[in-house]
């Protein structure tokens, strides 16, 4: 798989027609900047948009839909819940996601993916569950060391681990682990049993810290021309009370006392995308993606 070069993406959740102008404030990274974040009005979701290039944009619609668009730029877009008090996964209920992709278009796009991405603290880790992907050159060495495999949700996922360096925290540059579950056969809809991946990673001694967020992820390159897009009819992340309990939408968002700081942003393959404003927990003393 080639390193990320650039992508244009559009995501639409639902049959959106009218934009709520204030649902995604500051959804364009400002001129000269590569990062925008905020909360989505009338939802429990936060969003983050990174770009390395010309443009990347998030719009939100009054029916709960989204449109994410990028032109001539690398793009990383995340949206979903964050947590008031980070806890280990076994202190949560069961996480799952249901999604359905719509149409796709790519002007020579050599890379994009859709799945789940999140972060933990104590220790700092990143995790990825990738269900849908396009790789022009499937060079799996970018994922690091293959740790194993397991079958869930109707297919086998290969599990990888690597180390990301130069993560900027209050104590200076640090390194942290990144875990990947990559579905062997891509699919355009289904249910992702997120907690099943957490359990398998722990079984393989890939230790997760306390979860700060579990979010939908779209990441990709601009391709050889100007614009590409991917539509998503829906992407819902839920947490059940327990393994047998009723599943309900996650309803809490982070409200920890935080300090501001800057952190370097890397894509899934370790490519540096720039520096975005982050927030730093005084208790944990590491940079969190917000």
Catalytic residues: 126, 219
DSSP 118: E
Q: In this structure, how many other beta carbons lie within 10 angstroms of the beta carbon of residue 270?
A: 17
Please give the sequence-ordered ranges of beta strands (E in DSSP) within 142-227, or none if there are none: 145-152, 155-169, 172-183, 189-193, 210-220
**Residues 6 or more apart whose Cβ sits within 8 Å of residue 107:** 8, 223, 224, 225, 226, 227, 228
Task: State which H helix or E strand residue 141 sits in.
Answer: none
Cα-Cα-Cα-Cα torsion 178, 192, 70, 165, nearest 10 degrees, comes to 0
Three-state helix/strand/coil letters over 10-40:
CCCCCCCCCECCCCCCCCCCCCCCCEEEEEC
Tokens of 172: 């200076």
- State the residue for tokens 């939802």: 43
- State the residue for tokens 């964050």: 82
């Amino acid at each position: 798989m080639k390193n990320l070069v650039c992508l244009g993406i559009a995501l639409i959740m639902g049959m959106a027609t009218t934009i709520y102008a204030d649902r995604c404030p500051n959804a364009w990274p400002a001129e000269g900047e590569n990062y925008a974040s905020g909360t989505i009005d009338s939802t429990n979701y936060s969003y983050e948009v990174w770009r390395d290039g010309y443009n990347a944009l998030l719009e939100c619609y009054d029916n709960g839909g989204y449109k994410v668009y990028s032109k001539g730029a690398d793009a990383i877009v995340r949206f979903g819940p964050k947590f008031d008090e980070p806890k280990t996964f076994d202190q949560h209920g069961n996480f799952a996601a249901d999604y359905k992709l719509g149409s796709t278009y790519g002007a020579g796009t050599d890379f994009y993916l859709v799945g789940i991405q999140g972060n933990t603290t104590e220790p700092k880790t990143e995790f990825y569950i990738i269900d849908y992907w396009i790789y022009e050159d499937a060079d799996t060495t970018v994922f690091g060391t293959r740790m194993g495999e397991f079958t869930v949700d109707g297919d086998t996922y290969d599990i990888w681990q690597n180390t990301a360096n130069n993560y900027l925290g209050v104590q200076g540059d640090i390194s942290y682990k990144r875990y990947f579950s990559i579905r062997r056969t891509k699919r355009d809809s289904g249910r992702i049993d997120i907690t099943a991946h957490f359990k398998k990673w722990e079984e393989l001694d890939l230790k997760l810290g306390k979860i700060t967020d579990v979010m939908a992820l779209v990441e990709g390159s601009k391709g050889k021309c100007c614009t590409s897009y991917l539509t998503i009819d829906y992407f819902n992340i839920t947490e059940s009370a327990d393994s047998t309990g009723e599943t309900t939408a996650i309803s809490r968002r982070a409200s920890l006392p935080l300090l501001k700081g800057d952190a370097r942003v890397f894509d899934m393959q370790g490519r540096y995308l720039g520096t975005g404003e982050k927030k730093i927990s005084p208790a944990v003393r590491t940079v969190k993606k917000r």
